């Protein structure tokens, strides 16, 4: 019903309520039998119309209110969706830009870092998935030609024994990659296959002791151990390690090196502590054989020297500060000349005054 029609109906209804009596009196004499009936009928018809109009107005108001509620709810829903979309499209990139700006303002070197290198730093250092609380490198140096190699033997067989613990420090399950490599450069014609560089044992588990190593031949057949480019490389991915869980890893191998040589070992995973042990075997002694360790670390050489210890033919040292990827240890060794060995004498025990065996630096 339009607004004009509503006004006419309201006027008619009120006219019937308040004007029925005078109209009937004008039309019919008071003594007429229809006078009272017509007056009563017209008045009540007016009342019915007024009540009907009031009810109609109430229903229309309620309908409009409900309609507005529905519209408001839809508007709120759309506003919420729009706000979320704006946040994702504008606020989040703004936050990333602020982070990038903060980094660029905080580190002068940032301008030299391209995107792949920056991601490598974030994944391996700033936001690493795995962390190693401890890592032990044990080297055993054995003359290839017998118990008295100093007087002529040129090669050493160097046994490399690794044992370490790794922890998933992220919030999601992740696989860990066991990686290692051995030098395979020295291959003299007289060397038999058994004396070539090779891995001898690979084992890892969430519990110690590790009793079931992998079959080295199966790993070679499966392509997890490859002999290429003067190296023997191990690359083996574990099953997913749960957040906060530990994995214990042991790797053993052997490689041929010269009696005068340079050994470098760096780490690829963030590591809290690195223990290094050098053990001389089969006639090698520190009074005839020099070992010079050097830390590849920000610890500093003097602090590193104070961790040196010797027991019989075992020389140990420690870096007990976090090691970043590609930090580690380098060792140089060489047989001592007979004249110098006679002049220097046997190795003295480790003390505050003498923290290293002969040749160690």
Mean pLDDT, range 95-109, rounded to an integer? 60
Instruction: Tell me the pTM.
Output: 0.65
Q: Which of 1.10.520, 2.30.29, 3.40.50, 2.60.40 would CATH assign to domain 131-344? A: 2.60.40
Written as six digits, the tokens of 213 are 């190593």
Give the separation between CA 52 and CA 94, rounded to whole angstroms.
Answer: 60
Q: What is the pLDDT of residues 133-180, one digit of tens each?
A: 999 999 999 988 644 444 445 789 999 999 999 999 999 999 999 999
DSSP 156: E
| pLDDT: which is higher, 283 or 166 | 166
Burial annotation 12-30 (CB, 10 A radius, 16+ → b, else e): ebeebbeebeeebeeebee
Give the separation between CA 51 and CA 175, rounded to whole angstroms.
Answer: 79
Q: What is the pLDDT of residues 9-50, one digit of tens each?
A: 556 655 655 665 665 565 556 666 555 655 556 566 656 666
Runs of H (alpha helix) within 28-89? 33-86
pLDDT band per the 50, 70, 90 thresholds, residue 62: low
Q: Is the pLDDT of residue 352 over 60?
A: no
pLDDT band per the 50, 70, 90 thresholds, residue 311: confident
* Mean residue pLDDT across the chain: 77
Give the SS3 label for residue 293: strand
Please state, in angstroms and as integers, the Cα–Cα distance from residue 88 to each residue in 82, 97, 98, 139, 186, following that order. 10, 13, 15, 54, 58
Q: What is the pLDDT of residues 186-245, one digit of tens each?
A: 876 655 556 789 999 999 998 888 877 889 999 999 999 999 998 999 999 999 999 999
| pLDDT: which is higher, 57 or 220 | 220
R_g over Cα of the chain: 46
Written as six digits, the tokens of 360 are 């160690």
Q: Is the pLDDT of residue 247 over 90?
A: yes
Written as six digits, the tokens of 175 are 């696989």
Question: Taking the CA of residue 59 as centre, how many other CA atoms within 13 Å lie in the half-sphere pointing to its CB?
Answer: 6
Weakest-pLDDT range from 183-197, 293-307, 320-334? 183-197
Q: Which of 254, 139, 140 is nearest to 197 (CA)?
A: 254
Look at phi and psi of residue 122 and say left if phi exceeds 0, alpha if psi is from -120 to 50, else beta. Answer: alpha
pLDDT of residue 128: 87
Give the separation between CA 187 and CA 180, rounded to whole angstroms.
Answer: 20
Written as six digits, the tokens of 123 are 């994944």
Strands (E), the chain: 130-143, 155-168, 174-183, 198-205, 225-228, 231-241, 246-258, 261-266, 274-280, 289-296, 309-311, 314-319, 328-335
| pLDDT: which is higher, 109 or 197 | 197
Q: Where are the domains of the chain?
A: 3-86, 131-344
pLDDT of residue 211: 75
Give the separation between CA 92 and CA 180, rounded to whole angstroms.
Answer: 40
Beta pairing, strands 231-241 & 309-311: unpaired
SS3 percent helix, strand, coil of the chain, rounded to 5, is 40, 30, 30
pLDDT band per the 50, 70, 90 thresholds, residue 97: low
């Amino acid at each position: 019903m339009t607004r004009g029609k509503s006004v006419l109906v309201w006027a008619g209804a009120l006219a019937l309520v308040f004007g029925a009596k005078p109209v009937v009196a004008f039309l019919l004499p008071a003594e007429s039998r229809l006078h009272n009936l017509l007056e009563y009928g017209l008045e009540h018809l007016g009342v019915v119309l007024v009540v009907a109009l009031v009810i109609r107005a109430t229903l229309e108001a309620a309908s409009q209110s409900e309609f507005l509620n529905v519209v408001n709810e839809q508007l709120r829903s759309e506003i919420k969706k729009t706000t979320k979309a704006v946040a994702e499209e504008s606020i989040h990139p703004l936050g990333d830009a602020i982070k990038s700006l903060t980094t660029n303002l905080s580190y002068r070197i940032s301008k030299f870092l391209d995107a792949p290198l920056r991601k490598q730093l974030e994944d391996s250092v700033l936001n690493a998935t795995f962390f190693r609380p401890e890592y032990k490198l044990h080297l055993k140096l054995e003359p290839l030609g017998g118990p008295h190699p100093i007087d002529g033997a040129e090669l050493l067989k160097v046994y490399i024994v690794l044992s370490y613990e790794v922890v998933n420090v992220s919030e999601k399950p992740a696989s860990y990659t066991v990686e290692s490599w051995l030098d395979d450069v020295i291959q003299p014609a007289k060397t038999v296959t058994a004396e070539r560089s090779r891995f001898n044992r690979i084992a890892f588990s969430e519990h110690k002791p590790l009793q079931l190593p992998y079959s080295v031949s199966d790993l070679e057949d499966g392509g997890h151990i490859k002999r290429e480019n003067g190296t023997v490389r191990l690359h083996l991915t574990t099953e997913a390690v749960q957040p906060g869980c530990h994995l214990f890893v042991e790797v053993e191998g052997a490689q041929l090196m010269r009696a005068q040589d340079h050994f470098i070992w760096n780490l690829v995973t963030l590591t809290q502590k690195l223990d290094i042990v050098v053990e001389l075997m089969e006639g090698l002694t520190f009074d005839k054989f020099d070992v010079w360790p050097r830390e590849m670390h920000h610890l500093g050489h003097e602090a590193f020297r104070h961790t040196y210890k010797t027991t019989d033919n075992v020389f140990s040292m420690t870096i007990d500060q976090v090691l970043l990827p590609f930090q580690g240890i380098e060792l140089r060794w060489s047989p001592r000349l007979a004249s110098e060995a006679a002049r220097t004498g046997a190795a003295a025990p480790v003390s505050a005054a003498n923290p290293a065996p002969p040749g160690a630096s």
